[in-house]
Amino acid sequence: MKASKNAFLIIEKYEKCNKQAISEVHETARQLNKILDAIDVHLNQNEFDSLVSLCFSLSTKEFLKTHLFDLLEAHADRKEIAKEFKYLNEVRIGGTIQKGRSSKSLAERRKAEKELFLTPLYICDV
């Protein structure tokens, strides 16, 4: 699966995007696909895009350490998984979590990722 415009919309809103960043988003999506294949989890496009944005922000390495990932791997209910986004809003400097430090924009980003994760896809007759 590839990242769609929804992933890019969230990332562009909260990150400085240039050609290198776009390349990094595609690499993040490739890494996330490998992880999902390894744990046999199938996502819809919105779920995937929200996780691409999350992994782009955290790194796929840090994503693997989250409770959200544990729930995903355990094939937990999507609503339970989505609740975990709000716990991933601590500021990171050089990849190190700054305990107790969060930012408004990071909280907004996690909210947007959660909402996208929970947005169903509809098949419409055209």
For tokens 């430090």, name the residue: 101
Full-model pTM:
0.86
36 touches 43 (CB < 8 A): yes
Q: How does pLDDT run across 88-119, given as a tens digit for each residue?
A: 887 666 666 666 666 788 889 999 999 999 99
Over residues 65-74, mean pLDDT: 96
- Hey, what domains does the chain have and what are their CATH numbers? 5-118 (1.10.530.40)
Work out the angle between the directed axes of helices 19-39 and 5-14 (0-180°, nearest 10): 120
Distance CA(100)–CA(73), nearest Å, equals: 27
Distance CA(80)–CA(45), nearest Å, equals: 18
